[in-house]
Amino acid sequence: MSNRGVRNLFVFGSLFFFVIFVALTFDTMKRLDKRAPEITAEVDEGKKLWHKYDCIGCHTILGNGSYFAPDLTKVTVNKPEGYLEKFLVNPKKVKSTAAMPALGITPDEAKKLVAFLDWVSKVDTNGWPPKPVLATFRMPQTPGVTVYQKYGCSSCHMISGVGGTSGPDLTKVASRRPDPEWHKRHLREPSALVPDSAMPAYPQISDEELNQLVDYLLTLK
Amino acid sequence: MKYESQKIAQNFYTFAVLLFLVQVLVGIIAALQFIWPDFFPLKFNIIRDLHINALVVWLLMGLMGATYYVVPEESQSELWSIPLAKFQFWATVVAVTAVVLGYIWMGFDPQANKFVAGTLLLNEGREYIEAPRWADWLIALSVILFLINNFMTMYKSKRWTGIQGTLLGGLTFLALMYLPGMFYTKSMVKDQFWWWWVIHLWVEGAWEVIAGALLAFMLMKVTNAERHVLERWMYIEVGLVLFTGILGTGHHYYWIGTPKYWLWVGGIFSSLEPIPLLLMVWDAFRTTRKHRVVTNRLGLFYATSHAIFNFVGAGLWGVIHTLPQVNKWTHGTQITTAHGHLAFYGAYVLLVMSMIYITLPLIRGVNEFNTSRGYRSFWWMTISMIFIVLTLTGAGMVQTYMERLIGLDYVTVKATYNFWFWALRAIFGVGFLYGAWLFVIDFFKLGKEPVEVTSTATETVA
């Protein structure tokens, strides 16, 4: 083939693939709105704040961005909203080891950011991020462990290396806090015992569940 | 150098190498922030914005400088307008400086990044294209002036060659693909969809086309290879780059809320993306072997290394995690960081450096120059980069296994299990800085020192 022929193959071949790409783009744009919830004014405000504070300079979202801080695609599923709202306003006050600086986010802005993040968590992402293979870690299946898992305690707390780091590590919680009555009051209303606590209250736990959970916590020495 | 106007390339190269040094310096700060997040007054996001924006800008400046060298030579005429090129250069320097100062201001006062007339004043908060909208327009204007100048040069000389046609085609594609990043969308999914048009179609489309054209030019310049053979292979290479790369964009559309068919489209086409990069490696070796007359051995060394590390970094380190079955677990981990570092180093950092080593001696009018610093710089940078990439790959594998498969917390994995990977990465970063420093010194001294007897740039290989 002459050079002119090869050149034409390059030019028209590339155009051919670009046209297919544009066609797929049109098709995708038509389908996107059905794959995500409606965007309210609050969600849009939250997205603008997301850009204003350059959140993507540290975090990833939908897996894209920086790799310095946790991915936020499903953060509202994994963390209580009240916790997130307090954390955003002053991260180090809520969790002393947090790497995130206080950016001057107001409580109102925090609410909007959480609304935006909640919208993102409901996007149909073809199953990403996948559930970890060993998501349900092996623990003795006592009634207390069942309650611990039912209320998602491990999304913020860690036991023996497994679980989140937003709240204190519970591996040896019974050594620090041996009093069952303290735990019962704390679970019902954390901020009554720990000032500035960002942990949500759990009034919905039944008395029986509360006893089982505290029995379990007291085994952690 | 045949034309006086080719000297303008040197302005662009100078700004490029200085920004390169800034990029590597802030890169080390960012690496240390993985260990001590609070040790520096500017937080990680600002440092990273500076790191990746300095990279993009210095590579663009380098490519522009290279183009200002290539186009007069290929057109066999002076550049259409030297004052316009100078204006474009200084306007870009001023705009870039203003953007950098804006980032630093925002680093000290996050609230300074206000909405003015619907757009953010200092930082758009979108990865890689953080520059605010007013700067977008200035950048677009600069690129348009640059394109006009080069097209007018070609148009007036009426001499169209394949190399400069492909080069300018790639640069026009680059300019057009900046536009999908210049509008706001309410949906984060659409935001990322258009954002990948810019990012992917730049680095895996337009920039690779430019790389293909410059590789052909460099091989022609340092060997006595025939133009028509080089241009034929160039068309095949850049053709395959776009045939695979355009639909290869689909590998970014697996998990961001886009339809499932992208898993097929992206998986198949992006798996083919390494093929043209391998062809470029073969092209470099075939040309060198066949044409034993080499006029600039250091330049050829850099050009061939660029082809090899383009294939390894962009090709191999990309293809390992491009299939959806794999990417489902590795997406958004340090595996991507490892790929990003080696790909940019191999595909574009070494490309601009090889263009500098091939054209700068000609601009400065020297046939021979000391090459020992150039080789030392290469080995310091390349060995350091290989280890940076290996530590990041290791960190990514640990992260994929512990966080994604086992379900440990992100912060735990980062702070505990990956600690030594961060420490080693920072140490190798210092090694890279030393190599970059040697290169910058060499850039300023090239052709201005007496040539040592043992080191010759011009040599005929028997």
CB contact under 8 A, A133 and B405: yes
Out of A201-205, B237-241, B383-387, which region has the weakest mean confidence (pLDDT)?
A201-205
Per-residue pLDDT band for B460 (boundaries 50, 70, 90) equals: very low
Among B408, B413, B421, B425, the residue to mutate for chain A (most A Cβ within 10 A): B408
Distance of CA A13 to the CA centre of its chain: 44
Which residue of chain B has the CA closest to A45? B186
Cα separation of B90 and A196, whole Å? 53
Torsion of CA B434, B352, B63, B362, to 10 degrees: 110
Which residue intervals of A53-189 are DSSP H helices? Answer: 75-78, 81-89, 91-94, 107-121, 143-150, 173-176, 180-188
Tokens of B128: 């890689």
Is residue A172 included in any domain, yes or no? yes
Task: Give the tokens for residue B192.
Answer: 């990322």
What is chain A's length? 221
- The token duo for B279 is 């062809």
Q: Which residues of B touch A99 (CB under 8 A)?
A: 37-38, 44
Kindly determine whether residue B331 and residue A63, on different chains, have CB atoms separated by under 8 Å: yes
| β-bridge partners, A163 | A158
Is a pLDDT exceeding 80 seen at residue A205?
yes
C-beta atoms of A32 and B33 within 8 A:
no
Work out the average pLDDT over B100-118. 96
- For residues B52 and A58, the answer to whether their CB atoms sit within 8 Å is no
How far is CA B190 from its chain centroid?
Answer: 26
Do A52 and A114 share a structural domain?
A: yes
| Long-range Cβ contact pairs of B82-87 (< 8 A, separation 24 or more) | B82/B4, B82/B5, B82/B8, B84/B145, B84/B148, B84/B149, B85/B5, B85/B8, B85/B146, B85/B149, B86/B8, B86/B11, B87/B145
Looking up tokens 């504070």, which residue turns up?
Answer: A53
- Which of B46, B125, B328 shows the shortest C-beta gap to A130? B328
The tally of domains found in chain A comes to 3
For position B401, what pLDDT does the model report? 94
B405-439, pLDDT tens digit by residue?
Answer: 988 899 999 998 999 999 999 999 999 999 999 99
Is the Cβ of B229 closer than 8 Å to some Cβ of chain A?
A: no
Tens of pLDDT, residues B318-340: 999 999 999 999 999 999 999 99
* Alpha helix stretches (DSSP H) within B76-132: 82-108
Instruction: List the domain range (segments joined by +) for residue A28.
Output: 3-35
Confidence at residue A138, expressed as pLDDT on a 0 to 100 scale: 61
Q: Are B298 and B221 in contact (CB under 8 A)?
A: no
The better pLDDT of the pair A47, A95 is held by A47
Strands (E), B295-447: none
Question: Is A9 in CB contact (< 8 Å) with chain B?
Answer: yes
Instruction: Please name the residue of chain A whose CA is at the shortest distance from the CA of residue B240.
Output: A10
Q: Could you give phi then psi for residue B278, rounded to 5 degrees?
A: -65, -40
pLDDT, residue A175, reads 87
Distance from the Cα of B397 to chain A's closest Cα (Å) equals 14
Let me know if residue A131 belongs to a domain.
no
Q: Taken in order B100, B101, B107, B111, is the CA torsion positive or negative?
A: negative
* Helix or strand holding residue B460 (H, E): strand B459-460
pLDDT at residue number B453: 58
Tokens of A210: 């509360």
- Residue A92's pLDDT band (cuts 50, 70, 90): very high
Residue ranges of A 193-212 with Cβ closer than 8 A to chain B: none
Residue A58 sits at the chain B interface (C-beta within 8 Å) = yes
**B446 touches A: beta carbon within 8 Å:** no
Rounded CA separation B350/B341 (Å): 12
Give B-chain residues touching A163 at CB under 8 angstroms: 409
Distance CA B421, CA B423 (A): 5
pLDDT digits (tens, 9 = 90+) for A173-191: 998 899 999 999 999 999 8
Q: Using CB atoms, which residue from A57, A120, A162 is nearest to B48?
A: A57
Cross-chain Cβ contact A67/B239 below 8 Å: no
Q: A45 and A30 share a domain? A: no
Chain centre distance of CA B144? 20
Same domain, A151 and A177: yes
Among candidates B395, B348, B391, B22, which has minimal Cα distance to B383? B391
Confidence class for position A93, pLDDT limits 50, 70, 90 = very high
Which of B192, B261, B405 is the closest to A64 by Cβ? B192
CA dist A60 to A98, B188, B441, Å? 17, 12, 37
Cis before residue A129, ω within 30 degrees of 0? yes
* Predicted local confidence at residue B407, as pLDDT: 87
Residues A196, A151, single domain; the answer is: yes
> Over 80: is that where the pLDDT of B176 sits?
yes
Give A33's contacts in chain B (Cβ within 8 Å): 187
Instruction: Please tell me if residue B90 touches chain A, with a CB cutoff of 8 Å.
Output: no
Quote the mean pLDDT of chain B.
Answer: 95
Distance CA A93, CA A101 (A): 10
Contact A137, A205 (CB under 8 A): no
In chain B, whose CA is at the least distance from the CA of A57?
A: B45
* pLDDT score for B78: 96
Judge if A51 and A101 occupy the same domain: yes
Please report whether residue A184 resides in a domain. yes
* pLDDT exceeds 70 at position B454: no
User: Domain-by-domain residue ranges, chain B?
Assistant: 1-159, 214-462
Q: How far is CA B363 from the centre of its chain?
A: 23
Of B33, B125, B328, the CB nearest to A55: B125
CA angle B245, B250, B251 (to 5 degrees): 90
Residues 111-130 of B with CB under 8 A from A: 111, 113-115, 120, 123-127, 130
Q: What pLDDT is stored for residue A160 in this prediction?
A: 80
Instruction: Name chain A contacts of B249, Cβ cutoff 8 Å.
Output: 21
pLDDT, average across residues B249-270: 97
The structure tokens listed for B13 are 């190269």
The answer to whether the beta carbons of residues A56 and A65 sit under 8 Å apart is yes
Q: Pairing mode, if any, of strands B459-460 and B293-294?
A: antiparallel
- Alpha helix locations (H) across B112-206? 133-157, 162-176, 188-201
Q: For the residues B391-413, what does the mean pLDDT come to? A: 94
Q: What is the CA angle B315-B316-B317, rounded to 5? A: 100
At A139, is the pLDDT very low, low, confident or very high (cuts 50, 70, 90)?
Answer: low
Flag whether pLDDT at B392 surpasses 70.
Answer: yes
pLDDT at B187: 97
- Using the beta-carbon criterion (under 8 Å), do A35 and B257 form an inter-chain contact? yes
Chains A & B: contacts with CB separation below 8 Å: 211
What interface predicted TM-score (ipTM) does this complex get?
Answer: 0.94
CA dihedral over B328, B333, B335, B339, signed as positive or negative: positive
Identify the pLDDT of residue B462: 38
CA distance B190 to B241: 25
Query: B274-290 vs B207-222: helix axis angle to the nearest 10?
Result: 10
Contact B274, B244 (CB under 8 A): no
Q: What pLDDT, on a 0 to 100 scale, did the predictor assign at position B317?
A: 97
Distance of CA A69 to the CA centre of its chain: 11
What pLDDT was estimated at residue B292? 77
pLDDT digits (tens, 9 = 90+) for B275-310: 999 999 999 999 999 887 888 999 999 999 999 999
Strand, coil or helix: B294: strand
What is the average per-residue pLDDT within A156-162?
85
Q: How far is CA B418 from CA A164, B39, B129, B402, B432, in A?
A: 17, 19, 29, 11, 21
Q: Is the pLDDT of residue B461 over 70?
A: no
Q: What is the pLDDT of residue A142?
A: 85
pLDDT on residue B352 = 98
- Chain B residue closest in CA terms to A51: B125
Dihedral, CA atoms, B39, B41, B45, B47, nearest 10 degrees? -90
Q: How far apart are CA B53 and CA B130, in angstroms?
A: 8
Q: Which chain A residues contact residue B242 at CB under 8 A?
A: 10, 13-14, 17-18
Count other C-beta atoms under 10 Å from residue A38's C-beta: 7
Which residues of chain A lie closer than 8 angstroms to B332, CB-CB? 60, 63-65, 67, 71, 129
Give the pairing of strands A60-61 and A64-65: antiparallel
Q: How far is A186 from chain B (nearest CA, A)?
A: 24
Chain mean position to CA A27: 31
**A56 and A113 housed in the same domain:** yes
A10 & A46 share domain: no
- Closest by Cβ to A6, choosing from B126, B232, B336: B232
Least confident of A131-140, B94-103, B396-405: A131-140
pLDDT tens digit sequence for A105-122: 999 999 999 999 999 999
8 Å CB contact of A9 and B235? yes
Single out the residue of B134, B15, B122, B129 nearest to residue B64, CA to CA: B15
Domain membership flag for residue A101: yes
Determine, for residues B259 and A128 on separate chains, whether the beta-carbon distance falls below 8 Å: no
Interface probe, candidates B189, B232, B244, chain A, greatest A C-beta count within 10 A: B189
The CA distances from residue B100 to B19, B32, B86, B104, B105, in Å, are 11, 21, 21, 6, 9
**Selecting from 1.10.357.10, 1.20.210.10, 1.10.10.10, 3.40.930.10, what CATH number does the domain B214-462 have?**
1.20.210.10
Calpha distance B342→B334 (Å, rounded): 13
Question: Taking CB atoms and an 8 Å cutoff, what residues of chain B touch A35?
Answer: 189, 257-259
pLDDT at A7: 96
Question: Could you give the CA distance from residue B141 to residue B138 in angstroms, rounded to a whole number?
Answer: 5
Confidence check: pLDDT of B89 > 50 = yes
Among A6-10, A144-148, B104-108, the minimum mean pLDDT is found in A144-148
Alpha-carbon distance of B262 to B264, in angstroms, equals 5
